[in-house]
Amino acid sequence: MYRQADTGAIFSLFCRLAIEKTLTNKLEDARNSLKLRIVKALREYRNLYAVQHRLGSRMIYPDSLKFLCLYGLALSKSVPLKGGYADAQLDERCGAGFTMMALPVKRLLKLLYPSLIRIDEYLLKPSAQTDDFKNIMKRLPLVAESLDSRGLYLYDDGFRFVIWFGRMLSPDVAKNLLGADFAAELSKVILSEHDNEMSRRLMRILKKLRESDPSYYQLPYLVRQGEQPKEGLLLLVNLLEDQMGGTSGYVDWIMQIHRQVQQNT
């Protein structure tokens, strides 16, 4: 039974239940209800297989549910559920909640845990080494440690692209991608293709990512490291594995779930 568990289907249901609960209960109650569902699932698995795995105090879960806790954290930090009522506009919460409840499973999971990839190394490689897009584009954990000030990163949640320019990124890279506007405030710069291989390669990357799901056209937003509050709003707030603003990071979240799973077992 557990071997065939579908994390995507599970979280599509959890998402609906949690968002519906926010309509009649406190946001904290909705988040606690979500956590309790995860705890119950893992506790049941532990009770069934504790003897077989000779656990001690370890936490176990089937391979099919290895991302259950991560998506749980992501959902608890999503716009419909995060923080208190003052942390997001009511219209924003309602709009995000409606969208998440209507999304297909694949797109919902991408929205919950977007992709973060470093692209400057790919753009700088010789043409002969850029054929295998999938092998080069490695998704990074959504933590601040993933960001190198010498790099160029692409954040993709399925609805928009955020291109993050590190403070120490080579000026030549920025100039090739942005043209004469490379030193300007990025909020005033419109990303377009320039007459050089690096720019064409970046536009091909964006095109390929858009083609993977043509139901929505992601517009690119440009942000430079240290450019506040834009950097925080577009990217840093979405590094959901980090602890920020009084919310748990991934390590704390896992420890909380682990302790609760062990209770009454």
Are 87 and 52 in the same domain? yes
Are 183 and 229 in the same domain? yes
Dist. CA 181–CA 190, nearest whole Å = 9
Match 């065939």 to its residue by tokens.
4
Answer whether 230's CB lies under 8 Å from 223's CB: yes
Are 75 and 147 in the same domain? no
Mean confidence (pLDDT) of the chain: 89
Are 92 and 193 in the same domain? no
Residue 37 has pLDDT above 60, yes or no: yes
Cβ contacts of residue 100 below 8 Å, gap of 6+? 15, 19, 78, 80, 108, 111
Q: What is the token pair recorded at 250?
A: 């991934």
Split at pLDDT 50, 70, 90, the class of 63 is confident
Range of the domain at 214: 115-238
pTM of whole model > 0.95? Answer: no
Dist. CA 199–CA 195, nearest whole Å = 7
CA 123 to chain centre: 23
Give the pLDDT mean for 237-248: 88
Phi, psi angles (nearest 5°) of residue 163:
-105, 115
Are 90 and 133 in the same domain? no
Structurally, the chain folds into a number of domains equal to 2
Are 222 and 130 in the same domain? yes
Give the pLDDT mean for 106-119: 95
CB atoms within 10 A of CB 122: 19
Are 167 and 258 in the same domain? no
User: What is the model's pLDDT at position 84?
Assistant: 85
Are 8 and 67 in the same domain? yes
pLDDT tens-digit map of 173-192: 999 999 888 877 888 888 99
Kindly give the pairing relationship between strand 115-118 and strand 160-165: unpaired
CA dihedral 64, 4, 159, 223 (to 10 degrees): 10
Answer whether 191's CB lies under 8 Å from 174's CB: no
What single letter denotes the amino acid at residue 173?
Answer: V
What CATH number has the domain bearing residue 156?
A: 3.40.20.10
pLDDT tens-digit map of 247-260: 889 999 999 999 99
Are 91 and 139 in the same domain? no
Match 């290895």 to its residue by tokens.
66
Dist. CA 241–CA 111, nearest whole Å = 14
pLDDT tens-digit map of 137-159: 789 999 999 999 999 999 999 99
Split at pLDDT 50, 70, 90, the class of 131 is low
DSSP string, 16-44: HHHHHHHTTS-HHHHHHHHHHHHHHHHHH
Give the pLDDT mean for 66-79: 95
Are 37 and 85 in the same domain? yes
What CATH number has the domain bearing residue 85?
A: 1.20.120.730
Are 66 and 99 in the same domain? yes
Helix axes 68-76, 250-262, angle to 10 degrees: 120
Give the pLDDT mean for 62-70: 90
Kindly give the pairing relationship between strand 152-156 and strand 115-118: antiparallel
Residue 53 has pLDDT above 60, yes or no: no
